[in-house]
């Protein structure tokens, strides 16, 4: 792989030469979602907590810096490096404290909705507001723990709002009930949150179906207590790139750090690869993906509401399939680090695909004979997952030029090195 700087704006690009095969074993970095949740719960819990396999990335650095500013004692025993997983839970937790706070971020963060969370916090009695756009900055005037109450919020935009309220609930004086008034998307991330809370001693009672309009109850006597040590699983979203690469090239790749015992919803991406024609072998802490040379990948029609991040990887895998692929229930793509729906449509089209775009789904028709256009410059839109996802286009026997490869520092700074370590050119 060759890195160069574009002269006009000094933006670095990375050229990935054709990859004929991915073969080997990769050990995944810690999960972003788990890392930031673990840090916050450890800060809120009674006692000291050692967090192992913490992700070293920009998103985690933002959370660590915020904890430093709030006076939390964090001892770093290794190098620590626009973060929705930091801002949203912090906003809820700070409402239970004392003081005046303003939470803000990069320009794109000011375009990412947070009003549903603010609405829930206001219902619980918090003095909190956001901009008229429904986005950050968030202004908080906190005067101590809130009293027990109930609220009802929308779950259609992001599950992070519910997770944030759940994590803050044990800090309140009294019982807390939280209801979903429409539909809860990305429910596995909420299950992940509740699983972590349980490790810190807090039980959440769930009423109703998690995929519909559930409600959640946290009793007044629930309080966080440190488990002493906690291990962060490998990032299942990051695993998707290596699993898809194996399926596309017919190699055999094992990802270590998440497997059949994983609490992360994105491990379900392995089932999608299996639907397309790959062979998947599960172990408690690993997943191995391969594809028989006589088996062609087939287009699929998949509801990706539970795996919106990994669904991006499916968009590139679809370029190598026989027949079209429909990726459904991904409206949340439009609210992420960039407007991912339009970004994916644009970059797949550059590579030679025909893509039909709808409000919450898209249909990808691969290029004729799966022949991708060569030397395409992939815009990454300051979105780490765009850079990693579209690197796999090089599996099509073409050079792929990634604009601003450094954006992967958000969650996976070593991604391109790890990809190169298992690639044959």
Residues tagged active-site: 309
Check: CB of residue 125 under 8 Å from CB of residue 147. Answer: yes
Check: CB of residue 21 under 8 Å from CB of residue 420. Answer: no
SS3 call for 129: strand
Q: Which helix (H) or strand (E) holds 5?
A: strand 2-6
Check: CB of residue 179 under 8 Å from CB of residue 20. Answer: no
Phi/psi of residue 396, nearest 5 degrees: -95, 20
Check: CB of residue 203 under 8 Å from CB of residue 222. Answer: yes
Would you list the DSSP string of 372-389? Answer: PPSSEEE--TT-HHHHHH
Rounded CA separation 289/280 (Å): 5
Rounded CA separation 423/425 (Å): 6
Rounded CA separation 308/385 (Å): 11
Phi/psi of residue 105, nearest 5 degrees: -155, -165
With tokens 């800060």, the residue in question is 43
Q: List b or e across 36-57, with b for residues whose CB sees 16 or more CB atoms inside 10 angstroms.
A: bbbbbbbbbbeeebebebbbbb
With tokens 């839109």, the residue in question is 381
Check: CB of residue 82 under 8 Å from CB of residue 335. Answer: no
- Give the chain's radius of gyration (CA, Å): 21
Q: Which two three-digit tokens encode residue 244?
A: 């898809």
- Cβ-in-10-Å burial (0-12, 13-18, 19+) of 363 comes to middle
Check: CB of residue 215 under 8 Å from CB of residue 205. Answer: no
**Dihedral (C-alpha) 249, 254, 255, 259: value to the nearest 10 degrees?**
120
SS3 call for 50: strand
- Cβ-in-10-Å burial (0-12, 13-18, 19+) of 419 comes to buried
């Amino acid at each position: 792989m060759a890195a160069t700087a574009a002269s006009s704006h000094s933006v670095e690009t990375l050229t990935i030469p054709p990859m004929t095969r991915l073969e080997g074993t990769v050990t995944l970095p810690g999960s972003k979602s788990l890392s930031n949740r673990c840090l916050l719960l450890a800060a809120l819990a009674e006692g000291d907590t050692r967090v192992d396999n913490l992700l070293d990335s920009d998103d985690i650095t933002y959370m660590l810096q915020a904890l430093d500013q709030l006076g939390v004692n964090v001892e770093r025993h290794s190098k620590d490096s626009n973060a929705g997983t930091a801002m949203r839970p912090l906003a809820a937790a700070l409402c239970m404290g004392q003081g005046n706070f303003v939470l803000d971020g990069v320009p794109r963060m000011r375009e990412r909705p947070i009003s549903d969370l603010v609405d829930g916090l206001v219902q619980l009695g918090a003095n909190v507001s956001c901009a008229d756009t429904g986005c950050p900055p968030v202004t908080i005037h906190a005067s101590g723990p809130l009293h027990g109450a109930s609220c009802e919020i929308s779950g259609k935009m992001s599950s992070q709002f519910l997770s944030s309220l759940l994590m803050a609930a044990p800090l309140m004086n009294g019982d807390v009930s939280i209801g979903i008034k429409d539909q809860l998307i990305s429910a596995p991330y909420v299950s992940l949150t509740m699983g972590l809370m349980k490790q810190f001693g807090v039980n959440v009672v769930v009423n109703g179906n998690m995929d519909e309009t559930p409600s959640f109850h946290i009793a007044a006597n629930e309080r966080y207590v440190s488990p002493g040590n906690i291990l962060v699983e490998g990032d299942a979203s990051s695993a998707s790139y290596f699993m898809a690469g194996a399926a596309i090239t017919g190699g055999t790749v094992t990802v270590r750090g998440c497997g059949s015992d994983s609490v992360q919803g994105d491990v379900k991406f392995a089932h999608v690869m299996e639907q397309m024609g790959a062979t998947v072998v599960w172990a408690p802490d690993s997943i191995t993906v391969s594809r028989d040379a006589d088996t062609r990948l087939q287009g699929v029609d998949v509801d990706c509401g539970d795996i919106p991040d990994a669904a991006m990887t499916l968009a590139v895998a679809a370029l190598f399939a026989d027949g079209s692929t429909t990726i459904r229930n991904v409206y949340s793509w439009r609210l992420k680090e960039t407007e991912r729906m339009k970004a994916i449509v644009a970059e797949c089209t550059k590579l030679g695909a025909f893509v039909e775009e709808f409000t919450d789904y898209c249909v990808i028709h691969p290029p004729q004979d799966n022949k991708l256009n060569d030397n395409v410059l992939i815009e990454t839109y300051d979105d780490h997952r765009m850079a990693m996802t579209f690197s796999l286009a090089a599996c099509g026997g073409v050079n792929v030029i990634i604009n601003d490869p450094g954006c992967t520092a958000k969650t996976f700074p070593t991604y391109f090195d790890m990809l190169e370590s298992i690639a044959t050119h």
